[in-house]
Amino acid sequence: MGNIYLDHGATTPMHPAVIAAMVAEMENNFGNPSSVHAFGRAGKKSLMTARTLIAGSLNAEAEEIIFNSGGTEGDNTALIETALAQQKFGKHIITTSIEHPAVIEPLHYLESLGFEVTYLPVDEKGQITVQQVADNLREDTILVSIMAANNETGNILPISEIGELLVEHQAIFHTDAVQAYGAFDIDVKKQHIDLLSVSAHKFSGPKGVGFLYKNKSVRLPALLKGGQQEEKRRAGTENLPAIVGMAEAVKILTPLEKKNRKHRYQELATKILVELKDAGIDFSLNGDPQHKLPHVLNLYLKGIHRDVLLMRLDLAGVAVSSGSACTAGTIEPSHVLEAMYGHDAPQVDESIRISLGYENTEDEIDQFLEILIAEVQRLKK
């Protein structure tokens, strides 16, 4: 039996078409897009083609897409530069207690500079309400940052309703869409989103590249200073092969492809839940089953410590996780599950995340379930 990869929430394998597009770009188009000669113009053409394609996927304009190194840079730019630029109008920021570290850490930095951050609590399903945002809005609120979907539970948060709420308010609305982009449709104009962060490696693109959508009406100084790239919005020579690869990954995600993947993930996820129940495994689902990404399952396996189970699954050739890959290798518990259940709740130490990908087969899921059920039963004894 080969290894089984079920940790697509951490990163995804690159699609073969993405690899082919990147190789072709590296072989045939090495010019710097900022150069004025023919080689540079060819590079700029590739850059603009990718920018236009990606903008179209969000109902944005090409000039509103800023290429960067991924979600962390996008979040840092959106939060830090917006706060510093808007501080004359106030220093209050609203976010949630379940954001990715790429959002939480920049906000902690801003707190050290004198900004005030309200962290909205979540209920036991890991959800917030629009009313919570409304209740905490103030005249001096300058920024609201709410993730589109949680990376650990898969919960989809009410960003459309929050965007609508903020239309008449001065606060700029940012959403970390790293886990959500490609899983469901996002329309930045209809949803009134001002800033949106995306990372290519979450949807079969290359690592180290992503983009920040910035509504053209938003004033946002560059986080990185230097050259004139990205219309002076992000200094540094663009990683053209990676950007082309990211655009190819976006091109693959047609409406039909997204629909088919969603249906497939729902089938496989249902199979996992049904077979665990039939095997008598004592478990429950963490998160909101009515509002969640179809490819993410966060399971509380009662009485089974996550670290021991993850080690045994890894030895058996199965890759799952206990939460965000950005906190992997540490002994820190999931801040998302702590926010949902409390610091001392058993769910914090006895939950694993299974995240599916387009290449996973039913046979793989059958093999995974056989291994998982056997290991849980063994550990129970």
Looking at the structure, tell me whether residues 184 and 273 fall in a common domain.
no
Is a pLDDT exceeding 60 seen at residue 144? yes
d(CA 224, CA 235): 6
How many residues would you count in the chain? 381
Classified as helix, coil or strand, 297 is strand
| pLDDT given at position 36 | 85
Range in 36-40, 117-121, 288-292, 371-375 with the lowest mean pLDDT: 36-40
152-162 pLDDT tens trace: 999 999 999 99
56-82 pLDDT tens trace: 999 999 999 999 999 999 999 999 999
Looking at the structure, tell me whether residues 362 and 271 fall in a common domain.
yes
Looking at the structure, tell me whether residues 167 and 246 fall in a common domain.
yes
| pLDDT given at position 1 | 56
d(CA 7, CA 183): 15
For position 95, which CATH number holds?
A: 3.40.640.10
Range in 170-179, 181-190, 218-227, 336-345 with the lowest mean pLDDT: 218-227
pTM of the model: 0.94
Confidence of residue 225 (pLDDT cuts 50, 70, 90): confident
Is a pLDDT exceeding 60 seen at residue 124? yes
Looking at the structure, tell me whether residues 228 and 263 fall in a common domain.
no
Looking at the structure, tell me whether residues 222 and 267 fall in a common domain.
no
65, β-bridge pairs: 213
Looking at the structure, tell me whether residues 167 and 236 fall in a common domain.
yes
118, β-bridge pairs: 94
Domain boundary among 252, 275, 290: 252
Domain boundary among 230, 252, 274: 252
| pLDDT given at position 326 | 55
- In contact, 67 and 211? CB cutoff 8 Å: yes
296, β-bridge pairs: 355
Split into its structural domains, the chain has a count of 2
- In contact, 3 and 352? CB cutoff 8 Å: no
Active site residue 326: yes
Looking at the structure, tell me whether residues 191 and 326 fall in a common domain.
no
For position 309, which CATH number holds?
A: 3.90.1150.10
Q: Which residue range forms the structural domain that includes residue 280? A: 4-13+255-380
Q: DSSP letter string over 112-175?
A: HTT-EEEEE---TTS---HHHHHHH--TTEEEEE--SB-TTT-BBP-HHHHHHHTTTSS-EEEE
Amino acid at residue number 3: N
Q: Which long-range contacts (CB under 8 A, 24 or more apart) does 377-381 make?
A: 377/279, 377/281, 379/303, 379/304, 379/308, 379/309, 379/312, 380/303, 380/304
d(CA 352, CA 310): 8
Question: 284: how many CB neighbours lie within 10 A of its CB?
Answer: 11
Amino acid at residue number 153: T
- Catalytic-role residue among 19, 42, 326, 373: 326
Looking at the structure, tell me whether residues 198 and 307 fall in a common domain.
no
d(CA 148, CA 343): 24
262-282 pLDDT tens trace: 999 999 999 999 999 999 999
Classified as helix, coil or strand, 251 is helix
Looking at the structure, tell me whether residues 156 and 22 fall in a common domain.
yes
Looking at the structure, tell me whether residues 8 and 20 fall in a common domain.
no
Is a pLDDT exceeding 90 seen at residue 229? no
Domain boundary among 223, 252, 281: 252
| pLDDT given at position 105 | 98
Q: Match 């950005």 to its residue by tokens.
A: 326
d(CA 190, CA 186): 9
363-381 pLDDT tens trace: 999 999 999 999 999 998 8
Q: For the chain, first and last CA: distance in Å?
A: 26
Is a pLDDT exceeding 60 seen at residue 168? yes
Amino acid at residue number 345: A
Looking at the structure, tell me whether residues 47 and 159 fall in a common domain.
yes
Looking at the structure, tell me whether residues 181 and 195 fall in a common domain.
yes
Q: Using alpha carbons only, what angle is made at residue 210 by residues 59 and 293, rounded to the nearest 5 degrees?
A: 70
Confidence of residue 143 (pLDDT cuts 50, 70, 90): very high
Classified as helix, coil or strand, 354 is strand
Confidence of residue 325 (pLDDT cuts 50, 70, 90): low
- In contact, 142 and 86? CB cutoff 8 Å: yes
